[in-house]
C-alpha cells in the first residue's frame, strides 16, 4: 500500500490532561501532633493547542497518529504543596487549516503564522483539605478530585492559502506554468492526471511577491466525482483570482478553448463560492504551430466576453511576463482591501446558561435526572469512597436547591436520583431532610481535637463584664481575684496589699 505524502483531511481524537487530586493531610510535628489541615491542591491538566506553523504544509503526521493526549496535572501533597501543572501539548498545523467538530460544525479557521486554538481545555485540579477549611469546618477529612480534561473528536481540513489559483483540464500545462514562473518543480509528464496533489509556487513580479497554486485536472462531471480536481477545489477558495489554463494544442477530437472554458466555469459554479473571483485566461502551448493558430482564432471572442486573455507558452516562456504582472496587479488590489491578519489565541468555551446556578430536574423511567453545570462538576470532584466527601456533596446540592425542587416536583424518600449526563452519571437514593454528617457528634468536617481551648480569653471577658459592679476601692486585680475564688473573697471589698487582704503577711517584703 502506497504511503501518502500529502494529506489534507484527517480525523483527530484529542484528550486534554486530567487535573490532579487534592490531598487530605494534617500537619504534625513534635509536641504538636494535630497542627491543622495542610493538604495541597492538585495541579491543572495540560491543554491541547493547535498552532499555525508556516513550515508545515501537510497533515500527514496526524494521519499516522490520530490520537493525541496532553499531560495530567500532579497530585497535591502535605505541607501545603500544590501539584505541578500538566504540560500543554502544542500541535503544529499548516496555514489555512479549518477545524470542525464531529457533526461538521466549523470551530475555527486558522490563518496567519502563530495563530493558536485551544481545542481541548485541561481539567481543573481538586482542592486540598487546607483550601476547604473554614471557621465552621476546621478540619476537613477529605479533598476534592481533579476534573477530567476535554475529550473530543475533531476534523482538520487544509485549504492552502494562495493568492492565485490555476484551474484547467488534465495536461493543460498548469504544472509546467508553475515551474516556468517559480522555483517549484512539480512532476510533469504527457499523460492525464500527472498532478495528484496541489502544487504551490512563489512568484515575484516587480516588487510584488505572491503564491500560485494549482489543482489536479478538472474535467466535465467532476462535481459527480469524476477525476480528481473537484476534490481539491477547496485549496483555491482563498485565492484572490483564478487563472484558467487552456490547452490550445490538444489532440483530443471535439475540444476547443471556448468549450473547455465553459466546462470549467460550469464545474466551478457547481462547487460554489468562487463566483466573485476575478478571472484570467492563459491560452497555453502557443509555441506549437497549431496551438498558435487556434489561439489567434478564439482570443478576440474571449476578450469580447470581458475576459483578460494571455497567449503564453510555459515551454518557451512567451507571454509569461505579461501574465505574471497581471496576476500581481490583482494581488496588490486584493491585499490593499484586506486587513492584515494578526496572530491570535482562540479558546473554545462551551455555551453556558445565563445563570451558572441553574439546573434542571426531569422525571424519567429510570428516576429523577438532575442536570446542570454545577451539579455535574461537583459529582466529578467527589471521592465516593469517603463518606465525609459524599456528605459535603449532599450539602452543596441542598444549598443549591436541588432537594427543594425534587420535593416540589413530587419526589419521595427512596426514589432514585441521577445526576449527570446519560453516558456518565451517578445514582443516589433520595433522603430528604437529613443533613449530611448529622449522625456525628460534631459538625461534618469538624474534629473536636482541633478546637482551641482559650481559658485566658474567657477569664478576661468575665473580668471586663464584672468591672462596672466593682466596689469603690476595688481594682481590676481585685475583681479578678474575687472571680477566681468567690468562696474565699466573696463580695467584700479590699485593697490588694492592705491588711484586709487575706493574702497579706508580715513577712511579705512588699508589705
The answer to whether 355 is a known ligand-binding residue is no
**Residue indicated by cell numbers 456525628:** 440
The answer to whether 104 is a known ligand-binding residue is no
d(CA 235, CA 273): 12
Are 53 and 469 a contacting pair, CB within 8 Å?
no
The answer to whether 228 is a known ligand-binding residue is no
Are 103 and 121 a contacting pair, CB within 8 Å?
no
- Nearest of 205, 194, 264 to residue 236 by alpha carbon: 264
The answer to whether 133 is a known ligand-binding residue is no
422 CB neighbour count, 10 Å cutoff: 10
Residue 158 has φ and ψ, to the nearest 5°, of -90, 130
The answer to whether 315 is a known ligand-binding residue is yes
The answer to whether 356 is a known ligand-binding residue is no
The answer to whether 46 is a known ligand-binding residue is no
**416: which strand partners?**
429
The answer to whether 241 is a known ligand-binding residue is no
The answer to whether 295 is a known ligand-binding residue is no
Are 129 and 141 a contacting pair, CB within 8 Å?
yes
The answer to whether 433 is a known ligand-binding residue is no
The answer to whether 196 is a known ligand-binding residue is yes
The answer to whether 175 is a known ligand-binding residue is yes
The answer to whether 171 is a known ligand-binding residue is yes
The answer to whether 169 is a known ligand-binding residue is yes
**Cβ neighbourhood burial of 94 (10 Å; 0-12, 13-18, 19+):** buried
The answer to whether 360 is a known ligand-binding residue is no
The answer to whether 143 is a known ligand-binding residue is no
The answer to whether 314 is a known ligand-binding residue is yes
Helix (H/G/I), strand (E/B), else coil: 212: strand
The answer to whether 168 is a known ligand-binding residue is yes
Give Cα separations from 7 to 10, 56, 197, 239 (angstroms): 7, 12, 9, 20
d(CA 318, CA 312): 5
- Nearest of 177, 185, 168, 170 to residue 285 by alpha carbon: 177
The answer to whether 211 is a known ligand-binding residue is no
The answer to whether 325 is a known ligand-binding residue is no
Across 262-402, where does the E strand assignment appear?
279-284, 308-311, 345-347, 359-364, 367-372
The answer to whether 109 is a known ligand-binding residue is no
- Nearest of 416, 412, 373 to residue 396 by alpha carbon: 373
CA angle (106 as vertex; 100, 107 as ends), nearest 5:
80
The answer to whether 149 is a known ligand-binding residue is no
Instruction: Output the known binding site.
Output: 168-175, 193-197, 214-217, 284-287, 313-315
Instruction: Output the known binding site for GTP.
Output: 168-175, 193-197, 214-217, 284-287, 313-315
Instruction: Output the known binding site for Mg(2+).
Output: 175, 195
Amino acid at each position: 500500500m502506497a504511503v501518502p505524502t500529502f494529506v489534507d483531511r484527517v480525523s483527530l481524537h484529542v484528550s486534554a490532561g486530567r487535573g490532579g487530586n487534592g490531598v487530605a493531610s494534617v500537619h504534625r510535628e513534635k509536641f504538636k501532633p494535630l497542627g491543622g489541615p495542610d493538604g495541597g491542591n492538585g495541579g491543572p491538566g495540560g491543554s491541547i493547542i493547535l498552532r499555525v506553523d508556516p513550515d508545515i504544509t501537510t497533515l500527514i503526521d496526524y494521519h499516522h497518529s490520530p490520537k493525541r493526549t496532553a499531560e495530567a496535572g500532579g497530585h497535591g501533597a502535605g505541607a501545603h504543596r500544590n501539584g505541578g501543572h500538566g504540560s500543554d501539548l502544542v500541535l503544529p498545523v499548516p496555514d489555512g487549516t479549518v477545524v470542525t467538530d464531529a457533526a461538521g460544525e466549523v470551530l475555527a479557521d486558522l490563518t496567519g503564522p502563530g495563530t493558536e486554538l485551544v481545542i481541548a481545555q485541561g481539567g481543573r485540579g481538586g482542592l486540598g483539605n487546607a483550601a476547604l477549611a473554614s471557621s465552621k469546618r476546621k478540619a476537613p477529612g477529605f479533598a476534592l478530585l481533579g476534573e477530567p480534561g476535554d475529550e473530543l473528536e475533531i476534523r482538520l481540513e487544509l485549504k492552502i492559502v494562495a493568492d492565485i489559483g490555476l484551474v484547467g483540464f488534465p495536461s493543460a500545462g498548469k504544472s509546467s506554468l508553475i515551474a516556468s514562473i517559480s522555483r517549484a518543480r512539480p512532476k510533469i509528464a504527457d499523460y492525464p492526471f500527472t498532478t495528484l496533489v496541489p502544487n504551490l509556487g512563489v512568484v515575484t513580479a516587480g516588487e510584488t511577491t505572491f503564491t500560485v497554486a494549482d489543482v489536479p485536472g478538472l474535467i466535465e462531471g467532476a462535481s459527480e466525482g469524476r477525476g480528481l480536481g473537484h476534490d481539491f477545489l477547496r485549496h483555491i477558495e482563498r485565492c484572490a483570482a483564478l487563472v484558467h489554463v487552456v490547452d490550445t494544442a490538444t489532440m483530443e477530437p471535439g475540444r476547443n478553448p471556448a468549450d473547455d472554458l465553459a466546462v470549467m466555469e460550469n464545474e466551478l459554479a457547481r462547487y460554489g463560492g468562487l463566483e466573485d473571483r476575478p478571472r484570467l485566461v492563459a491560452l497555453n502551448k502557443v509555441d506549437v504551430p497549431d496551438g498558435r493558430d487556434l489561439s489567434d482564432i478564439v482570443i478576440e471572442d474571449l476578450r469580447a466576453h470581458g475576459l483578460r486573455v494571455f497567449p503564453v507558452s510555459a515551454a518557451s516562456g512567451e507571454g509569461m511576463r505579461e501574465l505574471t504582472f497581471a496576476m500581481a496587479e490583482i494581488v496588490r488590489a486584493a491585499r490593499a482591501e484586506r486587513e492584515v491578519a494578526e496572530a491570535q489565541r482562540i479558546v473554545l468555551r462551551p455555551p453556558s446558561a445565563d445563570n451558572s446556578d441553574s439546573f434542571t430536574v426531569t422525571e424519567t423511567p429510570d428516576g429523577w435526572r438532575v442536570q446542570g453545570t454545577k451539579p455535574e462538576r461537583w459529582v466529578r470532584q467527589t471521592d465516593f469512597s469517603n463518606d465525609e466527601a459524599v456528605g459535603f456533596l449532599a450539602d452543596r446540592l441542598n444549598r443549591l436547591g436541588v432537594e427543594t425542587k425534587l420535593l416540589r416536583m413530587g419526589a419521595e424518600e427512596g426514589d432514585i436520583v441521577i445526576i449527570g449526563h446519560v453516558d456518565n452519571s451517578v445514582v443516589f437514593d433520595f433522603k430528604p431532610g437529613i443533613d449530611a454528617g448529622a449522625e456525628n457528634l460534631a459538625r461534618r468536617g469538624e474534629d473536636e481535637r482541633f478546637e482551641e481551648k482559650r481559658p485566658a480569653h474567657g477569664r478576661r471577658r468575665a473580668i471586663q463584664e464584672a468591672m462596672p459592679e466593682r466596689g469603690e476601692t476595688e481594682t481590676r486585680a481585685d475583681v479578678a481575684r474575687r472571680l477566681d475564688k468567690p468562696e474565699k473573697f466573696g463580695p467584700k471589698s479590699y485593697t490588694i496589699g492592705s491588711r484586709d487582704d487575706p493574702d497579706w503577711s508580715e513577712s511579705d517584703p512588699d508589705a
